[in-house]
């Protein structure tokens, strides 16, 4: 996934400490290796980048499906979230980390509550992560009033500043839950810290109507009026944006992360990805949370991302497999500002590497690896995973996590959720 999307057959990758030291055809190692992974018959590629998640919502998976959005939020999600604590979020995040590693994700970006516990879970599991505490006008179950939310975000920045895997972002929830003064303060904080500013933008038609009625502007116009359009802004979803807004995003270098399966399940709409790409906007791919998607499998997300755009445009040539795989790797890394570290297999980058076992009926024969990865491969075809030079998955076995213990703890938390919502 370099600039040429090179494919090297019968290749070898050398990893020194946390860094890729060699990629090529040579089978002669530079010296005795501490460990060797034989990936014969497999595809070696950069780990996938999940650009938008709410990791702890794995514990709400299947809790309230097939409901209108506000019914889903007001009668299930919000009541449950109001009673969460740090251990709940840590447990749910560990479960998410296990699921992501087992399905090929090596980097994810999270927005939720008690984000210190999400960072802790990612560090424990060995996943690269961008995390940020959600900020909004009303009191949070974690930090209380908004002032403490900014203090909590600063605490995250201070605590995780030197960690090799964790990046802290400033994350106001959305335009309809955040007053302009909150948004401008969050932007100032992000600029001062050199951190990403991440926000849900134009996810639903009702959101667009609300912003237009309240401020007399479209969501992107509102961001522009507040001075928030810039290369450090990451807009999640961006479903209902017009051509003028796309031009604004492109002009200001704003990055976008789409979440097609979640948007389909909640009937939110379909993001205009081909138009964004045509204007040179960097677009990454995310799953959203398990309460609105039900899984964190980026292979499934790639397949959906391609096909929904084809059927919408009635053009089978849009969103070709190479383009979509880039969105889940190098373009996803660019969207998060991490492409200097990860997203491609190149000398000097961090060793975030996965191996897909192609010795499977549904992957036989293989004429085009890009096509197979997007349209045929599944998350459980990932057999090995290395993150930051550390083997985290080998022969489908998680190294840093006791999977049975994580799932057992998750089931205990599910019992609490049932009591909270009276289901």
pLDDT per residue as tens digits for the range 49-73:
999 999 999 999 999 899 877 787 7
Domain 1-423, second-level architecture: Alpha-Beta Barrel (3.20)
As a whole-number percent, the residues of the chain with pLDDT over 90 amount to: 92
Contact in structure between 125 and 101 (CB atoms under 8 Å) = yes
28, pLDDT greater than 80: no
Return the closest-CA partner of residue 16 out of 278, 386, 269.
386
**Measured distance CA(353)–CA(356) in Å, rounded:** 10
Return the closest-CA partner of residue 210 out of 263, 174, 256, 244.
174
pLDDT band per the 50, 70, 90 thresholds, residue 315: very high
**Measured distance CA(115)–CA(121) in Å, rounded:** 10
User: In degrees, to the nearest 5, what angle opens at C-alpha 294 toward C-alphas 269 and 393?
Assistant: 125
DSSP secondary structure string for all residues of 226-291: TT--STTEEEEE--S--HHHHHHHHHTT-EEEE-HHHHHHTT-----HHHHHHTT--EEE----TT
Burial class (CB in 10 A: 0-12, 13-18, 19+), 349: buried
pLDDT tens for residues 386-398? Answer: 999 999 999 999 9
Each domain of the chain, given as residue ranges in start order, spans 1-423
Phi, psi of 48 (to 5 degrees): -80, 155
Burial class (CB in 10 A: 0-12, 13-18, 19+), 287: buried
Contact in structure between 362 and 373 (CB atoms under 8 Å) = no
Region of 224 please: left (phi>0), alpha (psi -120 to 50) or beta: alpha
Residues found in the chain:
423
pLDDT band per the 50, 70, 90 thresholds, residue 41: confident
pLDDT tens for residues 214-236? Answer: 999 999 999 999 999 999 999 99
102: which 2 tokens? 């087992």
- Report yes or no on whether pTM surpasses 0.95: yes
**Measured distance CA(132)–CA(198) in Å, rounded:** 8
Return the closest-CA partner of residue 130 out of 165, 93, 103.
165
pLDDT band per the 50, 70, 90 thresholds, residue 74: confident
**Measured distance CA(387)–CA(126) in Å, rounded:** 7
pLDDT band per the 50, 70, 90 thresholds, residue 423: low
Q: What is the mean pLDDT of the chain?
A: 96
Lowest mean pLDDT among 65-79, 203-217, 245-259: 65-79
**Measured distance CA(52)–CA(169) in Å, rounded:** 12
Q: Before 330, cis peptide (omega within 30)?
A: no
- CA 97 centroid distance within chain: 12
208, pLDDT greater than 70: yes
């Amino acid at each position: 996934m370099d600039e040429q999307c090179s494919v090297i057959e019968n290749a070898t990758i050398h990893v020194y400490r946390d860094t890729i030291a060699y990629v090529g055809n040579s089978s002669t190692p530079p010296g005795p290796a501490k460990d060797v992974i034989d990936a014969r018959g497999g595809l070696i590629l950069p780990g996938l980048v999940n650009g938008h998640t709410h990791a702890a919502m794995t514990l709400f998976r299947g809790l309230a499906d097939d409901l209108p959005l506000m019914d889903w939020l007001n009668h299930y999600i919000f009541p449950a979230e109001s009673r969460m604590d740090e251990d709940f979020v840590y447990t749910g995040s560990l479960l998410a980390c296990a699921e992501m590693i087992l399905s090929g994700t090596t980097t994810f970006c999270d927005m939720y509550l008690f984000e210190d516990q999400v960072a802790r879970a990612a560090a424990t599991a060995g996943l690269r992560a961008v995390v940020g505490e959600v900020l909004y006008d009303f009191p949070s179950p974690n930090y209380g009033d908004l002032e403490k939310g900014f203090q909590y975000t600063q605490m995250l920045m201070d605590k995780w500043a030197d960690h090799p895997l964790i990046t802290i972002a400033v994350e106001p929830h959305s335009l309809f839950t955040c007053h302009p003064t909150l948004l401008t303060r969050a932007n100032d904080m992000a600029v001062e810290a050199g951190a990403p500013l991440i926000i849900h933008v134009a996810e639903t038609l009702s959101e667009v109507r609300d912003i237009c009625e309240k401020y007399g502007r479209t969501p992107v116009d509102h961001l522009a009026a507040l001075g928030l359009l810039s290369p450090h802004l990451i807009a999640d979803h961006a479903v209902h944006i017009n051509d003028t807004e796309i031009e604004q995003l492109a002009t200001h270098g704003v990055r976008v992360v789409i979440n097609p399966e979640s948007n389909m399940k909640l009937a939110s709409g379909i993001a205009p990805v081909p138009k964004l790409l045509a204007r040179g906007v960097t677009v990454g791919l995310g799953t959203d949370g398990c309460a609105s998607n039900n899984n964190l499998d980026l292979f499934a997300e790639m397949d959906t991302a391609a096909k929904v755009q084809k059927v919408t445009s009635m053009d089978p040539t849009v969103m070709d497999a190479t383009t979509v795989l880039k969105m889940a790797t190098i373009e996803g890394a660019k969207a998060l500002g991490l492409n200097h570290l990860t997203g491609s297999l190149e000398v000097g980058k961090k060793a975030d590497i996965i191996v897909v076992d192609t010795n499977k009926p549904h992957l036989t024969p293989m004429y085009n690896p890009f096509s197979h990865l997007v349209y045929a491969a599944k998350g459980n075809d990932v057999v090995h995973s290395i993150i930051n030079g550390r083997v985290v998955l080998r022969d489908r076995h998680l190294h840093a996590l006791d999977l049975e213990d994580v799932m057992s703890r998750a089931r205990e938390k599910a019992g609490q959720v049932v009591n909270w919502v009276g289901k």
